[in-house]
Amino acid sequence: MITGKPLLSVEQIQKKVAELALRISRDYQDRELVAVCILKGAFMFFSDIVKRIEVPLKVDFLLVSSYVKTSSSGEIKVMCNMREDIAGKDVLLIEDIADTGLTLQHLKDQLFMQNPASVRICALLNKQARRKVDVGLDYIGFDIPDEYVVGYGLDYEGRFRNLPYIAICKEKR
Ligand code: 5GP
């Protein structure tokens, strides 16, 4: 059986989303953004944060998969790619969680091949203890311990994405 110990409440998440959006709005003043949602995990964070970013922006989506149960398969698969032409544009990748950093590094490298003006990363959660590559996160919501978390878009085998808060996922014997 799976149980969840709350880690971040709805209020904590929403406060952080507002703070991040304010910083992003200030940093990109007078620019136009392409905000890229990394699916599926970032869908809730993405929809909350873009509502609060106050610069003109376009949205795009990348469907990526690398996790099997609670550990990374190490193989990053882009199942569905972006549609926007990002040449000369400022791109902001919006991710649920940076763990090993391999997914974000892989995506960043791929995006750079399309000659954007810039690529920055905004991750709601950061598990620094498990980092394998120094991908460089520009905006971080919360540093969290090395635990598997679910909720607010994050899943365990496809479930729990609809929880409005974030919980530590434990398998109870
Ligand atoms: P990385 O490539 O940085 O190791 O992994 C990034 C992806 O792994 C995230 O987008 C997310 O889908 C998944 N992931 C990493 N840690 C967790 C976690 O604690 N919970 C969930 N649900 N997914 C995670």
The tens digit of pLDDT for each residue in 9-53 reads 999 999 999 999 999 999 999 898 999 999 999 999 999 999 999
Looking at 99, 134, 143, 146, which residue is catalytic?
A: 99
Give the containing element (helix H, strand E) for 76.
strand 71-80
- Whole-number Å distance, alpha carbon 168 to ligand 1 midpoint, is 13
- Whole-number Å distance, alpha carbon 31 to ligand 1 midpoint, is 30
Note whether 94 and 34 are within 8 A (CB).
no
Once rounded to an integer, what is the mean pLDDT over residues 95-122?
95
At position 18, the amino acid (one-letter code) is A
pTM across the whole model = 0.93
Tell which one of 93, 96, 109, 134 to mutate to probe ligand 1, the residue whose CB is within 8 A of the most ligand atoms: 96
* Residue-wise pLDDT tens digits, 37-95: 999 999 999 999 999 999 999 999 999 887 555 666 667 888 888 888 999 999 999 99
Q: What distance in Å separates the CA atoms of residue 160 and residue 150, rounded to the nearest whole number? A: 6
99 is catalytic: yes
Pull the structure tokens for residue 120.
């920055």
- Predicted pLDDT of residue 167: 96
Note whether 49 and 17 are within 8 A (CB).
yes
Nearest CA residue ID for atom 19, ligand 1: 148
Note whether 83 and 24 are within 8 A (CB).
no
Of ligand 1's atoms, which has the minimum distance to the CA of residue 42?
10
Q: Which domains does the chain have, with CATH numbers?
A: 2-170 (3.40.50.2020)
What Rg, from alpha-carbon coordinates, does the chain have? 16
Pocket around ligand 1 at a 6 A CB cut-off: 41, 66-67, 72, 95-103, 148-150, 154-155
Instruction: Tell me the torsion sign for CA atoms 66, 171, 147, 19.
Output: positive
